[in-house]
Chain A
Amino acid sequence: MLLYHQMALALQYLLNALQLGSVYALIALGYSMVYGILTMINFAHGDIFMVGAYLAMWASLFLLGLPGQLPTVVIFLGSLLFTMTLTACLGVSIERLAYRPLRQAPKVSAVITALGVGLFLENFTLATIGPEPRQVPAIFPVQQYSWGGVAFTNVQVFILLVALFLMILLDFLVRRTLTGMAMRAVSSNRVVVPLMGVPVDRIISLTFAIGSAIAGAGGLLYGLAYPVLDPYMGIRIGWWAFIAAVVGGIGNIRGAVLGGYVLGAVEIFTPVLLASSTYRDSVAFSLLLILLIFKPTGLLGRPTVEKV
């Protein structure tokens, strides 16, 4: 009986890990896509996620406040569309204004710029809307279910399904469409591919748009699960997602998803195993350091050889 109870508990944790991992995976995808195509770490990506969470909050507040009750599906899809469109615009503008002028510059300049852009987004949000945490409205009422001792909510299931749907959509886009082929081509060779008539700048913009839109969707889902937002939340979650991308092998889309779930599990199971919740950051970052030293290409990444 005790064993059964523990199994149920473990399943419960696993479900939580999957929920959190979905959010990490969605953000990690953006890191990985941008790295794949520009070999540049877009440190501002976590803050695009944060902006997305706020946009989703405002959109759902607005739609919920409209006279006459709109159907839940309309509210959700409306918020999602609004958030994804605006975060895509944000990502593209950041690329256009801050990263494109530096494309020929040393890589270090681009990384520092990305850090600067991230801090700018955080502090700008802080200065415009103030430091108070904001409450996200529930789009639909939370319902508890229980199945064989494992408790779960409709929100959890919903997040899992939406995230999975977005990931499959993206995988399809990258592997099966002409645009996806162009993206993979640009990431594999930046010299020859333009000569083949691939519009490199447009493909890069598109990559930023898709990555940022998915991060925006991640922001919306995060708000549903953990309904308190503050301007600095993008730092921690962005970092965890980034570690997820590295764990999976940065530049690799399926690796990013795998890494996201691994990091979700690290976050949920570390407090259980160490009986203390404050060490999870140390654990995650130590994982990153160890990985970078011994297997810098991650779980699914291909090794690269530095040519002189």
Chain B
Amino acid sequence: MKLPGPRSRIGFFLLIAGGLVLVAWLVPTLGLLNPYLQQVLMYVGINIILTLSLNLVNGYMGEFSVGHAGFMAVGAYVAAVLTVAVFPRAWGPFLFPLALLLGGLAAALAGLVVAFPSFRTRGDYLAIVTLAFNMIVKSILENIEAVGGPRGYMGMGKLTNLAWVTVWVLLTLLVLRHLIYSNLGRGIIAIREDEVAANLVSVNTPRLKIYAFCLSAFFAGVAGGLYAHLLQFINPRSFSILKSTDMLVMVYLGGIGSLGGSILGAALYTILMELLRPLELWRWVIGPLLLVLLMIFRPTGIMGLKEARWLKPSDP
């Protein structure tokens, strides 16, 4: 039996996507939105990609990564070094997607580092492995003088714009939606529900774990590249555990195992943090507190394993 695929709505999706990208390109070009709001929107977009990527591992696969900022850092640094030092300056805007792609691939490679231990360890031990990975990445970056060490790296042009962010958000959404409602995706969800049972019904769990971790790391890396070329300055400290925790808050706020939830969580949290800017240092108390309260009172988040209708495949 063939499972109902999402292909039936692909034309509709492409139409909407094209429209969105056009709007995202037109709005800044025509000067319809002030730069600050544009910046916030781009942050929302980048955070949506990060949240979606983390949700694949934590929400759908039920494995446990708390070091996603490490993948983001790999993507950010690789993409930044490419546009600054490798690619000719004049071609920057045209080669930017390639830089992001290569950054993402480098992050995916780093994803293998975490994927292999996940065969043998689960739950809190895997959490330690991912956290350790995050710390190692940060520590290594602080030791590489060529990318500025602890001082950080700069010199990137402001290549990230609203249109590129929109394109990547839509691409992430499309890929994940197709993955999750495919056979592979069912296997990934089976790992979450019961790994032993999944193995027994011949789900190749090690392979699926590699796929999921690498894909997740890839998108986190792309988001890192976008982030680097939005801020035009990156330093190892901005990819610490605090960043990983932000991602966790967004995933668990919006809802685990839900693409719509990730979009909602990322948007809500990013905008909330922007609105709370006047609180200065106290702002940083809100995020962790929110995380603890969420875990106690609604651990599945706002959407809680439910999906927005437009993200589900239609019935055959």
Answer whether A117 and B288 are a contact pair too, CB < 8 Å, given A123-B281, A126-B281, A278-B142: yes
Q: List, in ascending order, chain A residues with CB within 8 A of B12's CB.
A: none
Q: List, in ascending order, chain A residues with CB within 8 A of B124's CB.
A: 40-41, 107-108, 111
Q: Which secondary structure dominates chain B's binding surface?
A: helix
Q: List, in ascending order, chain A residues with CB within 8 A of B287's CB.
A: 119
Most B C-beta atoms less than 10 A away, residue of A101, A116, A120: A116
- Report the nearest B residue to A288, measured CB to CB: B132
Q: Are A113 and B292 in contact (CB under 8 A)?
A: yes
B125-173 CB contacts (< 8 Å) to partner A = 125, 127-129, 132-133, 135-136, 139-140, 142-143
Docked complex Cα distance between A112 and B126 (Å)? 13
Q: Are B64 and A111 in contact (CB under 8 A)?
A: yes
Q: List, in ascending order, chain A residues with CB within 8 A of B252's CB.
A: 112
Q: Are A296 and B292 in contact (CB under 8 A)?
A: no
Q: Are B125 and A105 in contact (CB under 8 A)?
A: no
A interface residue count range (under 10 / 10 to 19 / 20 to 34 / 35 or more): 35 or more
- Among B1-9, B115-123, B306-314, the one that faces the other chain is B115-123
- Among B21-29, B74-82, B181-189, B240-248, the one that faces the other chain is B240-248
A220 to chain B, nearest CB (A): 26
A82 beta carbon closer than 8 Å to chain B: no
Docked complex Cα distance between A240 and B116 (Å)? 23
Number of interface residues of B (CB under 8 A): 40
Q: Are A98 and B281 in contact (CB under 8 A)?
A: no
Most A C-beta atoms less than 10 A away, residue of B123, B129, B242, B295: B295
A67-114 CB contacts (< 8 Å) to partner B = 98, 101-102, 105-113
Q: List, in ascending order, chain A residues with CB within 8 A of B37's CB.
A: none
Docked complex Cα distance between A292 and B196 (Å)? 21
Answer whether A289 and B129 are a contact pair too, CB < 8 Å, given A107-B124, A278-B142, A296-B120: yes
Q: Are A296 and B121 in contact (CB under 8 A)?
A: yes
Q: Are A124 and B64 in contact (CB under 8 A)?
A: no
Q: List, in ascending order, chain A residues with CB within 8 A of B58's CB.
A: 108
B299 beta carbon closer than 8 Å to chain A: yes
Q: Are A296 and B242 in contact (CB under 8 A)?
A: no
B201 beta carbon closer than 8 Å to chain A: no
Docked complex Cα distance between A126 and B64 (Å)? 28
Answer whether A112 and B295 are a contact pair too, CB < 8 Å, given A40-B124, A246-B128: yes
- Report the nearest B residue to A98, measured CB to CB: B292
Q: Are A115 and B129 in contact (CB under 8 A)?
A: no
Q: Are B139 and A115 in contact (CB under 8 A)?
A: no
Q: List, in ascending order, chain A residues with CB within 8 A of B129's CB.
A: 289, 292
Q: List, in ascending order, chain B residues with CB within 8 A of A62's CB.
A: none
A125 to chain B, nearest CB (A): 10
Q: Are A98 and B139 in contact (CB under 8 A)?
A: no
- Among A141-149, A175-183, A279-287, the one that faces the other chain is A279-287
Q: Are B285 and A282 in contact (CB under 8 A)?
A: no
Chain B 281-295 near chain A by CB (<8 Å), digits 1 or 0: 110110111011001
Q: Are A41 and B296 in contact (CB under 8 A)?
A: no
B222 beta carbon closer than 8 Å to chain A: no
A308 beta carbon closer than 8 Å to chain B: yes
Q: List, in ascending order, chain A residues with CB within 8 A of B284's CB.
A: 119, 123, 126-127
A239 beta carbon closer than 8 Å to chain B: yes
Q: List, in ascending order, chain B residues with CB within 8 A of A127's CB.
A: 281-282, 284-285
B55-87 CB contacts (< 8 Å) to partner A = 58, 62, 64, 66
Chain A 289-305 near chain B by CB (<8 Å), digits 1 or 0: 10011001000000000
Q: Are B127 and A41 in contact (CB under 8 A)?
A: yes
Docked complex Cα distance between A293 and B282 (Å)? 39
A235 beta carbon closer than 8 Å to chain B: yes
Docked complex Cα distance between A187 and B261 (Å)? 38
Q: Are A292 and B125 in contact (CB under 8 A)?
A: yes
Q: Are B282 and A101 in contact (CB under 8 A)?
A: no
Q: Are A119 and B245 in contact (CB under 8 A)?
A: yes
Q: List, in ascending order, chain A residues with CB within 8 A of B117's CB.
A: 289, 292-293
Answer whether A111 and B127 are a contact pair too, CB < 8 Å, given A282-B143, A292-B121, A296-B121: yes
Q: Are A116 and B285 in contact (CB under 8 A)?
A: no
List the 5 shortest-distance A-B pairs measured between CB atoms, nearest first. A116-B291, A119-B288, A120-B288, A123-B284, A281-B139
A–B complex contacts, Cβ < 8 Å, 26 sampled: A40-B124, A41-B124, A102-B295, A102-B299, A107-B124, A108-B64, A109-B299, A111-B123, A112-B248, A112-B291, A113-B295, A115-B288, A120-B288, A120-B289, A123-B288, A127-B282, A246-B128, A278-B142, A282-B136, A285-B135, A285-B139, A286-B136, A289-B129, A289-B132, A289-B133, A292-B132
Chain B residues at the A interface, C-beta cutoff of 8 Å: 58, 62, 64, 66, 116-117, 120-121, 123-125, 127-129, 132-133, 135-136, 139-140, 142-143, 196, 241-242, 245, 248, 252, 281-282, 284-285, 287-289, 291-292, 295-296, 299
Chain A residues at the B interface, C-beta cutoff of 8 Å: 40-41, 98, 101-102, 105-113, 115-120, 123-124, 126-127, 131, 235, 239, 242, 246, 276, 278-279, 281-282, 285-286, 288-289, 292-293, 296, 308
Q: A40-B124, A289-B132 are in contact. List 10 more A-B contacts (CB 8 A).
A: A102-B296, A105-B299, A106-B299, A108-B123, A111-B64, A112-B295, A126-B284, A278-B142, A281-B136, A282-B139
